[in-house]
Amino acid sequence: MDLKSKIKWMTLLITGVIGMLALLLLIFYLLLPEQSRYLLTQMESHIGNTLTAIFLLLVIVGLLIDICFRLLVVPFNQIVEETALIGSVNSRHRIRTKSGPVFGPLAKAINGMAVRFEAIQQYDQEKIKSIRAVAEKERNMLAAIMAELPEGVIVCNIHGSILLYNQQARQLLSGIVQDPEAAPEALIGLWRPVYNVIDRYQLQHALDEIQTKFKESDKNAAAYFVTLGSAGQLLRVEVVPVLDHQKAYAGFILIFQDITQRLQSAGEIEGTLTGLGREIRASAASIRSAIEAIRSYPHMEPAQLARFREVIFNEAVALGGVVGKLDADCTLERKTEWPLAPISVSALLEMIQRKARGTMNIALEADEELPQHFVRADTYALGMVFYFIMERIQKENGPVPFTLRPHRQDSFIHIDLSWPGKPAKIDMLRTWDDCLLEAREEHLPFTFKEILRYHGAEIGAFACPGRAHESCLRLFLPACDAIPLAPARRVTILTQSRPEFFDFDLFGQAAPSPQIAHRLLSDLNYTVFDTETTGLNPSEGDEIVAIGAVRLVNGRLLREESFDQLVDPRRPIPAAATRIHGIRPEMVKDRPGIELVLPRFHQFSADTILVGHNVAFDMRLLQVKEAATGIQFTQPVLDTLLLSAVLHPAQSDHTMEAIAERLGVSIEGRHTAMGDALATANIFLKMLPLLAENGILTLDDAMSACQKTFYARIKY
């Protein structure tokens, strides 16, 4: 019997006693004075019998109230709760309450109606199942296609929350960590921020570039950049906007290609071409020298002439070999897989000037009479080159102003960066080559020299014509025509009747807010977890031997995004504990300790609500490790045991098995961390509509209701 039922029972008992006392007073009031005095005299003379009679009367009244409560009140409340379950979340449930002669026929009638209701539901479900069969087939086809795509794909909403990803993206960006002692990897998952796996500044720059293209009605609204993957590989990233049915910006798609091998091949090709160029120049020089000698001395001795002819022949043969090598290697093309897109020089410099505003003083001077010129560029990377240069010049000269002056000469665009102060020496430029590009709070995992090489650019120090007081650096960039490298990727537009694949519902959800107390329970994301231990006394040294967890996002259980880890407790596992959860000492040998597992679980559960069954015990296990690991779980916590007591106060059994049976949830792998986590997750999903029916809509409502239950007072 729960606290609420005990309070009702005590209230009825007190009410009965007060009623009995009121009845006695009424009897005394109705008696004549002589009769009242006689009755009092008799009671005083037989005080023992009088008290005994009063006590027996109270006992009889209490027993009558208890019998009425047990035969009428408790069965009635239980039947009401179980009937609500049949009509809401579990049509297979049947009333098993000991209803007695009073409510027995009612329970039998309700069970009969439940059988018919279940049959109707099954018929409707079969119809719905057949209607959805085609859609399910198409969804499975889409999932299979997504899984087999050679590129990694991530779809995000406007806030950068992940709505869809495929396995290629997961492998490229978060990898599969085999070493249990490795640092926690970047996590990719539904509704997690994409900035966990992509540099925020690079992605934001690409999104800003897309917005600019929208304003300018540019048909090629995609943007490109290069980043590092989980294993240090180079990834080419294409960012494509997603528009809703009204053509308003609704999110973006990221497409990833591993270009590491291609870039390495391009570098090898460039080295090969450089070596071949040296060989050609040397052979040509030898042939030219021999011919010039023959022409200068037409009457030279035959032996000398023969030697010169031999030189010409040998060098001609060598040149033939070089040409043959070039012809045989069909891959020798000076191309790069770096995503370089055409951009006008004026737009490039305006972007540099706009982004540097507030941190550096930059003036832009251009010859307006020059026609519009274009270069191929990764605008983010090339912009970082300029910021890198300016920061280092300001370290030498202080906060000097800069001027950018572009002009074209032959097939190159020259961009002069000038400033008043000391010039940049050749030795200084050489020291920059191997420096990683870092400026302000941003950085790229590539060196200054690498970015210049991928752009086919060179840099040198020059004197400014007519400006003797200024120093100047000139960047040489190959000019190009304003023709895209590849056909523009079509912008994705969502139809008004949205597709039912994955979690595109999240396009319309609000950005995660730290103030979540008043958010609807259905709008929150959850990590449902369970632990297995060496015993039941965390404060006395019992340790965790396993943690299992799954995520709930948008009302869906994400089985693919799970956390299942055995933990070495570094103490014996009692046989009694092994009989419950089946974890033997040899199973946790060489497994990571809690100091390594807890940071991973903390990262896995970040920005979610924790959910567990009898979770006070699990939270106590985590709390006792705070001092040793430095890890604190500060997010809100919900307990399915307490929620069950809130939803079904008339039920006396709130164990996981009892709740699962009431709600129609099957339990697989009971007393394993992952099995109990999955069961708890399914129970919690069944509880959400029941909570809403009871007016418990927000997180604050749920936590307040739980705190009022008897079980909330249990401490570990």
Q: Which residues are catalytic?
A: 671
Radius of gyration over every alpha carbon of the chain, rounded to an integer in angstroms = 40
| The amino acid at 521 | L
Distances (CA, A) of 244 to 190, 248, 251, 494: 20, 5, 9, 5
Residues 6 or more apart in contact with residue 162 via CB below 8 angstroms: 154, 155, 156, 188, 189, 190, 191, 192, 193, 194
Local structure of 612: helix, strand or coil? strand
Residues 6 or more apart in contact with residue 648 via CB below 8 angstroms: 81, 654, 662
Long-range contacts of 430-436 (CB under 8 A, 24+ apart): 432/388, 432/389, 432/392, 435/388
Distance of CA 663 to the CA centre of its chain: 30
Distances (CA, A) of 321 to 73, 290, 307, 328: 103, 20, 21, 10
Distances (CA, A) of 318 to 268, 303, 517, 661: 22, 23, 79, 86
First-to-last alpha carbon distance for the chain, in angstroms, is 22
Return the half-sphere exposure (C-beta side, CA atoms, 13 A cut-off) of residue 446.
24
- Tokens for 145? 């296609």
Distance of CA 306 to the CA centre of its chain: 77
Residue 236 · residue 226 · CB < 8 Å: yes
Nearest to 473 by CA among 399, 397, 400, 389: 389
What is d(CA 299, CA 441) in angstroms, rounded to the nearest whole number?
A: 73
Residue listed under structure tokens 């086919």: 456
Residue 675 · residue 546 · CB < 8 Å: no
DSSP summary character for residue 698: B
DSSP summary character for residue 38: H
Nearest to 205 by CA among 11, 424, 380, 418: 380
- Please tell me the chain's helix, strand, coil percentages from 3-state DSSP, rounded to the nearest 5: 50, 20, 30
- Tokens for 544? 């965790």
- Describe the crossing of helices 74-88 and 673-693 by its angle, rounded to 10 degrees: 100
b/e burial code for range 660-694 (CB count within 10 A of at least 16 → b): bbbbbbebeeebbbbbbbbbbbbbbbbbbebbeee
What is d(CA 288, CA 327) in angstroms, rounded to the nearest whole number?
A: 24
Residues 6 or more apart in contact with residue 635 via CB below 8 angstroms: 605, 607, 608, 609, 610
Question: Which residues is 255 bridged to in the sheet?
Answer: 153, 238
What is d(CA 217, CA 211) in angstroms, rounded to the nearest whole number?
A: 10
- Describe the crossing of helices 302-328 and 260-296 by its angle, rounded to 10 degrees: 160
Helices then strands, counting H and E runs in the chain, come out as 21, 20
Burial class (CB in 10 A: 0-12, 13-18, 19+), 407: middle
Question: Which residues is 228 bridged to in the sheet?
Answer: 234
b/e burial code for range 20-39 (CB count within 10 A of at least 16 → b): eeeeeeeeeeeeeeeeeeee
